[in-house]
Amino acid sequence: MDGAEFLVKFLENKGVEHIFGYPGGSVIYLYDVMDRSPLKHILTRHEQGAVHAADGYARATGKMGVCIATSGPGATNLVTGLTNAYLDSVPLLAITGQVDCASIGSDSFQEADIIGITMPITKHNYLVKDIEDLPAVMEEAWHVAQTGRPGPVLIDIPKDLFKAEFDFTSLPKQIITRKTPRKNSLEEQLEKVINLLKEAKEPLILAGGGVISAKASAELKEFVNYTNIPVVTTLMGKGSISEEDAGIIGMVGMHGKPTANLALSSCDLLLAIGTRFSDRITGNPKEFLLGSTKIHVDIDPAELCKNIEADVPVVCDAKKFLRKVIDKLQEKKIKLDLGPWLTTISHWQEKYPLCYEAGPGLKPQQVIQEVSRKAGEEAIVVTDVGQHQMFTAQYYPIKSARKFLSSGGLGTMGFGLPAALGAALGNPEADVLLFTGDGSFQMNIQELATLALNNLPVKVFILNNECLGMVRQWQELFFEERYAQTLLNGNPDFVRLAEVYGIKGLRIVNPGELQTKVEEALQHRGPVIVECAVDPRENVFPIVPPGGKPNEMLGRWQGETHISRIS
């Protein structure tokens, strides 16, 4: 076989069904071979669309996302999507073409050092210079992307290697494994964890995206049922446990639920599982939970004590950790008495519910709540980045893992549309809902063609406030209402734009239309764009001001008409 034939056969043997990409000169031979294979290639309209679609596919299915780009600008157009996947720990395999081996380093046409460019934003990357190395590189890349903490891996292949022939049967199958000695393993720390849990009076679980990556939702639920310890989640941990279960408080952070942030600030023991303690959760890390004991569990040793100093760091997979701790608690017949703590949390929930002031105009919260009531619990919810993202995280309850897809670490506007079509391809029987803003939607608007061509039943709700809502909100609150370059004048008519692509378009202007238009959108079999003309002055509350502690929230509390700090 030649290199292209081997690569295609490798992907077939790994069970890959969908590949997202955009052809070009350096991968033209690979595309010629791939076109004759059973692999289903999805032609996006931009390489960034391809990598975000592969990302959404991976998040929604738990499988590897695969994308392809040509050399030079094709490869560099993957950079944002690779960074996005890297920060959110998503397993991706990106294959890029490169100029031929003899031309590397000569500034040849469409040459870019994609290995140097992506070194900080991939879990690992490779430049293949010898056809004999291709089998080992492919096997290792597949292994690395999915093992331990998942992440994106890039393989750069010179175009002459795609046509180079080799007897691949003469090479043994190789997987190079790199083992790192690990301190603070579960075996070393288990007794400390058990003793701290036994002594805690006000413990709290912080569940991050690592719980979902480890497929540990069932174990987390069992642990919570046995111990009665309340749970808060990060944005990436949303869906790790049903948000409608008793004891599940909600999301913490800059725009977290008031009770979740109060519980985080007041706990005497924090058990953080599969989270990296981003600044959106901690505020000033030097001031974060100074009086609390912190157990930090993560598969990646580099995350332990990086942002927050843990009293008990544990290098372990979330699933294994929870299983071992449950078994040990049951073996020792340890039960926790948390009555006063749970009463305090219940009091906060009654005093500080999420609320907004309804009016004659359409509120974004109303749209999200109406869609959540009508769509059902099996829908996959995707967001772009901005105010709509936080409103969705606050007001759309998620009941299971891989049903909430959002760009967490990088905060990538334009993620939503391609990620939603990737999720729909990976889950053809599921309803896929995208909540986006007029700013984010236009970042990768060209993927409407991909959506229409594949007739994917994605329901897109554009919460159109005619501005960059999150930045405008900061300008209002912290920059004396100087709205520098955040008002999006000249937006297109999104309904007519949808119709140009052959997609059904709807518009909702006032609350009275909401129920019937949402039902009409959800009942349509194909893709739908719903433009929702929402109040441009609506802000996301609560908000923790920059550098503030989680309990230092600004908001409009129940029964109040003005914005104040929580008391």
What pLDDT digit, counting tens, does each position of 95-109 carry?
999 999 999 999 999
402 pLDDT above the threshold of 80:
yes
Reported as a single tens digit per residue, the pLDDT across 43-53 is 999 999 999 99
pLDDT at 75: 98
The HSE-up count of residue 474 (CA atoms within 13 Å, CB side) is 13
**C-alpha–C-alpha distance, residues 563 and 498, integer Å:** 38
Mean pLDDT of the chain: 95
Residue 484: both structure tokens together: 């520098």
**pLDDT-based confidence at 560, cuts 50/70/90?**
confident
pLDDT at 89: 97
Catalytic residue among 9, 12, 63, 110: 110
Catalytic residue flag (residue 119): no
Catalytic residue flag (residue 504): no
pLDDT at 173: 61
Which residue in 526, 521, 531, 380 sits closest to 453, CA to CA? 526
CATH architecture of 364-540: 3-Layer(aba) Sandwich (3.40)
**pLDDT-based confidence at 359, cuts 50/70/90?**
confident
pLDDT at 107: 92
Reported as a single tens digit per residue, the pLDDT across 445-489 is 999 999 999 999 999 999 999 999 999 999 999 999 999 999 999
509 pLDDT above the threshold of 80:
yes
Select the more confidently predicted residue: 547 or 370.
370
CATH architecture of 186-351: 3-Layer(aba) Sandwich (3.40)
Catalytic residue flag (residue 413): no
Residue 276: both structure tokens together: 């990296």
Decide whether 186-351 matches 364-540 in CATH topology.
yes
**259-268: average pLDDT:** 96
Reported as a single tens digit per residue, the pLDDT across 203-228 is 999 999 999 999 999 999 999 999 99
**pLDDT-based confidence at 557, cuts 50/70/90?**
confident
Q: What is the DSSP letter of 66?
A: E
Percent of the chain with pLDDT over 90: 90
Encoded amino acid at 232, one letter: V
Catalytic residue flag (residue 47): yes
**C-alpha–C-alpha distance, residues 136 and 160, integer Å:** 18
pLDDT at 547: 83
CA 457 to mean position of chain CA atoms: 21
Which residue is associated with the tokens 């033209």? Answer: 28
Reported as a single tens digit per residue, the pLDDT across 32-90 is 999 999 999 999 999 999 999 999 999 999 999 999 999 999 999 999 999 999 999 99
Residue 167: both structure tokens together: 């007897």
Catalytic residue among 236, 254, 470, 553: 470
Catalytic residue flag (residue 109): yes
Catalytic residue among 6, 20, 34, 47: 47
Catalytic residue among 20, 34, 159, 435: 159
Catalytic residue among 109, 119, 378, 479: 109
Tell me, which fold does domain 3-167 have in CATH?
Rossmann fold (3.40.50)
Residue 504: both structure tokens together: 């059904």
**pLDDT-based confidence at 177, cuts 50/70/90?**
low
**pLDDT-based confidence at 170, cuts 50/70/90?**
confident
248 pLDDT above the threshold of 80:
yes
Reported as a single tens digit per residue, the pLDDT across 114-145 is 999 999 999 999 999 999 999 999 999 999 99
pLDDT at 246: 87
Domain range summary for the chain, segments of one domain joined by +:
3-167, 186-351, 364-540
**pLDDT-based confidence at 182, cuts 50/70/90?**
low
pTM of the model: 0.95
pLDDT at 178: 60
Return left, alpha or beta for 351; rule: phi > 0 is left, psi -120 to 50 is alpha, else beta. Answer: alpha
Tell me whether the omega of the peptide bond preceding residue 527 falls within 30 degrees of 0, making it cis.
no
Percent of the chain with pLDDT over 70: 98
